[in-house]
Amino acid sequence: MKLNFVFFFSEMASHIVGYPRMGPKRELKFALESFWDKKSSAEDLQKVAADLRSAIWKQMADAGIKYIPSNTFSYYDQVLDATSMLGAVPSRYGWNGGEIGFDTYFSMARGNASVPAMEMTKWFDTNYHFIVPELGPDVNFSYASHKAVDEYKEAKSLGVDTVPILVGPVSYLLLSKPAKGVEKTFSLLSLLPKILPIYKEVISELKAAGASWIQFDEPTLVLDLDSHQLQAFTAAYADLESALSGLNVLIETYFADLTTEAYKTLVGLKGVTAYGLDLVRGTQTIDLVKAGFPEGKYLFAGVVDGRNIWANDLASSLNTLQQLEAIVGKDKLVVSTSCSLLHTAVDLVNETKLDDEIKSWLAFAAQKVVEVNALAKALAGQKDEAFFAANDAAQASRKSSPRVTNEAVQKAAAALKGSDHRRATNVSARLDAQQKKLNLPVLPTTTIGSFPQTLELRRVRREFKANKISENDYVKAIKEEIKKVVDLQEELDIDVLVHGEPERNDMVEYFGEQLSGFAFTVNGWVQSYGSRCVKPPIIYGDVSRPKPMTVFWSSTAQSMTQRPMKGMLTGPVTILNWSFVRNDQPRFETCYQIALAIKDEVEDLEKAGINVIQIDEAALREGLPLRKSEHTFYLKWAVHSFRITNCGVQDTTQIHTHMCYSNFNDIIHSIIDMDADVITIENSRSDEKLLSVFREGVKYGAGIGPGVYDIHSPRIPSTEEIADRINKMLAVLETNILWVNPDCGLKTRKYAEVKPALNNMVAAAKLLRTQLASAK
């Protein structure tokens, strides 16, 4: 059935870089998990996906968006989609050619019973993840997924002419890694001549299907690239020029400024019609446009923030657009989002519990689509005065609201600048004092914090929030869950226990709900990877801790065992980076405020008798700016924030931290400077990449637990496999500092997977202890 959408404002040049995939109520998440659990068919999953795509296209068409994207939808992530399109399937998955189906696709993403998943890492400096392509000189590329063409045709059959989006060929290669067994020095860009023929096939099919525009996402252009890398863009698009003839071609960049050299490369690309620039995070890029923009080309101006939830300052954006219009021409300027709206929540309409004042300050993806079109209309002389006036009032309300400012908090944060907040004793002496108190074996075992979140547990939390069960019944149920988790760990003979976090739906949301200056949504879900969604809190004002947040549950858990029980906290940098952060003051000022709140909690846990406290900084690397020139400043305040949280504890209190799924090697010295007693860190899914830094001579004197198995895969590793991983660690790390633990928390797994995996992990640690003892 055709929807036959009418573009009332077709002369208004408006564009959306990409859109959230999960659906307003996480429809895709539940469909994926049902399919993975074999409770529904591939056809059922495809039907949910088609309905979501149709709704998204209709929404944008109804809003008057001219350039509507397609192929932004994904069952897992867009880079994995590109890997499938290119047929770049690692041989271990047993793919024998033809169109890639769900079995192969999800095996690459999640692993299967016999082989592990591909590496997953953060998408630039966001909390979104992508599956890292594994490439080498022997990869036989082939056109193996027609998804981009199929989705374009699907939209067209509904009456919507879209702009199909592909991950650009150069960014695809720059985001890849040499496959196992391939020399690390192998030039991934040398594969350009092998993948461009497939891009040409896709382009040819899109042209035949009637496409008039095509968008290539080349976000790596915002990185610090050398001349060889920049030349690859020039060479790639020169090669594609004849294939692209007859199409309008948009090259989209986002997340940061372009360097002068990258800008010159971008605007000099052959066969390109338009350039998409992030003018929110790329605050200096507008100066490059003012200094020179190619005549006759389109500028897709990303003035509406795709990574935050604050309502756009329409008057300010319109002023920026008018300046740009004078440079590029009225008919060549397109109003756009700064990046894909994948990184923001779906629709503010679904938020029924936010108070009206805070709600007036916000715009989710659906509202940003309206903002884009409102700016395009205003630029074309059809300004909606009432809409702009309401926006002006909301901006003024936010600036003047007394709930935003807490003078006592600001004064306390300002006072932090006179000290670096280091613990008085060095880590070696602290570890000795802690060992005397804790009496742990060699290769102590632990987990990262969370245990499986069962349906029953979720029901209890949901009913308590809805006032359907009493607080007494809720506390009783959570205590029973903690006891179950404690008993299981003792049965498995784990050395340092956790309480499993049954009271928490999310590690950031839980703390934000108990801190002042935060607001929360009901349906503000954002995709992190695959079916994993998070609901970032909104930091709208100054942050403080009104009362203890975790002491009751940690103390309760410790009373159930004689073994050490970790107090579990989320660190200030991770709370910051996994929230929608206020944009009216520098991020570091907000981070210092959070650090002071966590410091209060750490000291209360210590007073309650908790001797091991984990302060997760899973997102510290994620927040690292994309440009090297900005690294030092960020790492200085981020590491300082962590040290603030625990600078006041006794030597005998052991401070752990945890990091996951990023490239840590380039910040290892900053990790050491955090001065934690023990760090647990993702390692297994990235082929022990972390260990290479120690092979290269970096000395690490604190405790360290590189993950011994990947918790994001349902696969259960054997005792021998884990023992082999531990032996690789022992080759580069001292025995007395090595811990044995999974890569990350266990909340996304099932007990049927967790129990045997942890049993094998403990067995591997015991096996190595025996071998080490007999070797003495």
Q: pLDDT digit string (tens) for 456-480?
A: 999 999 999 899 999 999 999 999 9
Q: Return mean pLDDT, the chain.
A: 94
Predicted pLDDT at 321: 97
Q: Which residues are catalytic?
A: 712
Predicted pLDDT at 776: 75
Residue numbering of the annotated binding site: 29, 127, 448-450, 501, 532-533, 578, 616, 658, 660, 669, 673, 682, 744
- The two tokens of residue 28 are 């895709």
Query: CB of 140 within 8 A of CB of 127?
Result: no
Q: What is the DSSP string of 317-381?
A: HHHHHHHHHHHH-GGGEEEEESS-GGGS-S-GGG--SS-HHHHHTB--HHHHHHHHHHHHHHHTT
Residue numbering of the annotated binding site for L-homocysteine: 448-450, 616
H-helix or E-strand spanning residue 316 = helix 314-328
Instruction: Give the C-alpha distances (Å, rounded to integers) separating 744 from 451, 505, 707.
Output: 10, 16, 7
Residue numbering of the annotated binding site for 5-methyltetrahydropteroyltri-L-glutamate: 29, 127, 532-533, 578
Range 57-77 average pLDDT:
96
| pLDDT tens-digit map of 95-116 | 999 999 999 999 999 999 889 9
Predicted pLDDT at 700: 84
Would you say residue 661 has pLDDT above 80? Answer: no
Relative to beta strand 516-519, strand 538-544 is antiparallel
Residues 6+ apart with CB under 8 A from 460: 469, 474, 477, 478
Angstrom distance (rounded) from CA 78 to CA 585 = 33
Instruction: Give the C-alpha distances (Å, rounded to integers) separating 526 from 28, 365, 475, 676, 713.
Output: 12, 11, 29, 31, 21
Predicted pLDDT at 1: 36
Predicted pLDDT at 11: 55
| Helix spans in 415-548 (H) | 427-438, 455-465, 471-492, 509-512
Share of the chain above pLDDT 70, in %: 97
Predicted pLDDT at 277: 98
Residue 614 banded pLDDT, cuts 50, 70, 90: very high
Predicted pLDDT at 659: 87
Residue numbering of the annotated binding site for Zn(2+): 658, 660, 669, 673, 682, 744
Query: CB of 31 within 8 A of CB of 76?
Result: no
Angstrom distance (rounded) from CA 17 to CA 25 = 22
Cα 287–Cα 291–Cα 293 angle in degrees, nearest 5: 105
Angstrom distance (rounded) from CA 36 to CA 39 = 8
Would you say residue 240 has pLDDT above 90? Answer: yes
H-helix or E-strand spanning residue 517 = strand 516-519
Angstrom distance (rounded) from CA 426 to CA 772 = 28
Would you say residue 2 has pLDDT above 60? Answer: no
| pLDDT tens-digit map of 474-512 | 999 999 999 999 999 999 999 999 999 999 888 888 998
Predicted pLDDT at 508: 86
H-helix or E-strand spanning residue 453 = none
Range 718-742 average pLDDT:
94
Would you say residue 234 has pLDDT above 70? Answer: yes
**Maximum distance among all Cα pairs of the chain, rounded to whole angstroms:** 83
Residue whose entry in the numeric block shows the structure tokens 């056809």: 43
Angstrom distance (rounded) from CA 407 to CA 422 = 26
Q: What is the DSSP string of 684-715?
A: TTTTTTTHHHHHTT----SEEEE-SS-TTS--
Angstrom distance (rounded) from CA 148 to CA 620 = 34
Angstrom distance (rounded) from CA 72 to CA 165 = 7
Q: How many CB atoms lie within 10 A of CB 776?
A: 4
Predicted pLDDT at 748: 86
Predicted pLDDT at 506: 80
What values do phi and psi take at 686, rounded to 5?
-100, 25
- The two tokens of residue 120 are 């997953």
Residue whose entry in the numeric block shows the structure tokens 């033809």: 98
Q: Which three-class secondary structure state does DSSP give residue 59?
A: helix
Predicted pLDDT at 682: 81
Closest CA to 430 of 649, 674, 601, 640: 649
Residues 6+ apart with CB under 8 A from 569: 511, 550, 598, 601, 602, 605, 613, 614, 615, 616, 645
Residue 10 banded pLDDT, cuts 50, 70, 90: very low
Angstrom distance (rounded) from CA 110 to CA 107 = 5
| pLDDT tens-digit map of 139-183 | 999 999 999 999 999 999 999 999 999 999 999 999 999 999 999
Angstrom distance (rounded) from CA 130 to CA 328 = 35
Beta bridge partners of 631: none
Residue whose entry in the numeric block shows the structure tokens 């245990």: 451
| pLDDT tens-digit map of 530-588 | 999 999 999 999 999 999 999 999 999 999 999 999 999 999 999 999 999 999 999 99
Angstrom distance (rounded) from CA 658 to CA 635 = 16
Q: Which three-class secondary structure state does DSSP give residue 440?
A: coil
Range 355-370 average pLDDT:
96
Rounded (10°) CA dihedral 16, 22, 25, 26: -170
Q: Is the dihedral of CA 233, 236, 237, 238 positive or negative?
A: positive
